């Protein structure tokens, strides 16, 4: 059965101060879902392909490599006999409330405000 590969723009993760931050994808495959920590300031630049002339690309970044990165607040990691129902509920709330995603957005906003990330030329 024939198939066609179609190029689609990446999801816009956030915009702050005129700077657009796009999601990146493993192998450029949107079907695999966005990376948790990888982002791009240019919709044509990703982890595997780059639309700009910079080598290495200055548009793609791992949020954990930013100088202002801190771990998001999370419940303790409890496994085995130490795991409790309360701990499990705390992790469910952590994911339901998108704590990690919101923390990443706050780190990126701060990086933009501090001039660590800025609008690209494209």
Query: Does residue 120 belong to any structural domain of this protein?
Result: no
Which pLDDT score, from 0 to 100, does residue 121 have? 59
- Give 35's contacts (C-beta < 8 A, 6+ positions apart): 23, 24, 25, 26, 47
Domain containing 96: what range?
A: 12-113
Distances in Å between the Cα of 56 and the Cα atoms of 28, 50, 117 are 17, 9, 16
Q: Domain tally for the chain?
A: 1
Which pLDDT score, from 0 to 100, does residue 56 have? 81
Query: Does residue 118 belong to any structural domain of this protein?
Result: no
- pTM of the predicted structure, to 2 decimals: 0.85
Query: Does residue 7 belong to any structural domain of this protein?
Result: no
pLDDT tens for each residue of 26-58: 988 888 899 999 999 999 988 888 878 777 889
């Amino acid at each position: 059965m024939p198939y066609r590969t179609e190029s689609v723009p990446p999801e816009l993760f956030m915009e702050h101060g005129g700077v657009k931050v796009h999601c990146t994808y493993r192998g450029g495959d949107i079907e695999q879902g966005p990376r948790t920590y990888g982002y791009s300031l240019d919709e044509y630049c990703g982890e595997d392909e780059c639309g700009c002339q910079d080598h290495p690309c200055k548009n793609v970044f791992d949020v954990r490599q930013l100088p202002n990165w801190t771990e998001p607040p999370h419940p303790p990691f409890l496994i085995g006999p130490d795991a409790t129902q309360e701990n499990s509920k705390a992790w469910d709330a952590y994911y339901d409330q998108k704590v990690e995603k919101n923390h990443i957005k706050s780190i990126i906003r701060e990086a933009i405000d501090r001039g660590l990330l800025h609008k690209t030329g494209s």
